[in-house]
Structure 1
């Protein structure tokens, strides 16, 4: 049952993304609506969840902005010294680790404050959305040629 619900949810998310025009991007998807539909929280749990989620999402956005700024500077420069490239790789790797630790940390917070089920759904939703957002960003930068 859980696998069926999860599959249906992610099919819904992908269909929403696919239905967007070429000029749209993942940031314009109403995450809050998708989360509310997926989690089906009570009013009391919803208040607790959104307080935690807003704190989590601010941190994630900060990490993503830093990562994307570095990647954009990489794309804009034809030649970057090897030392700088190595530094960029290390910093990017560190930011990815921070993202993973942040997701795990907020999973634990939600597990304790609301329930393991809500925390698990949060974890899977965010993991999927972060992957989708990254893929969309790479698509905008023409990292992958679409021939």
Structure 2
């Protein structure tokens, strides 16, 4: 009816090889969280160039420290914040704040799944700041009442 498989599966061969790269779930989450925070840092640097602000400078430094911690001390690539000449483009600024809000939300989800309190707090603070800067109303979380 059918011919039996004569060779080993690619997956079983890879599992037997010692040189095959293996990462734990925690390592994968660290990589993913560092990527989200690095993307958030890039958008923050872009916002700093568009409209310099001390709060953005502080957030950028905190983000860079978290990315370096997750990458084993390797500092993230940074854009030089050179103020843009002329008036601030409000539409572009609002779009960047919305993008930063979305990136901070992604980072928050990953930070929560790996129980990284420092990164979760920073991500939540960034979400609040970018939502306020984009002019979006903050929706309070519904109350959770437990039975018992």
- Which TM-score band applies after superposition, normalised by the shorter structure? 0.3 to 0.5
Query: If the length of structure 1 is used for normalisation, what is the TM-score?
Result: 0.38
Structure 1 or 2: larger helix share?
Answer: 1
Query: If the length of structure 2 is used for normalisation, what is the TM-score?
Result: 0.38
* Larger gyration radius, structure 1 or structure 2: 2
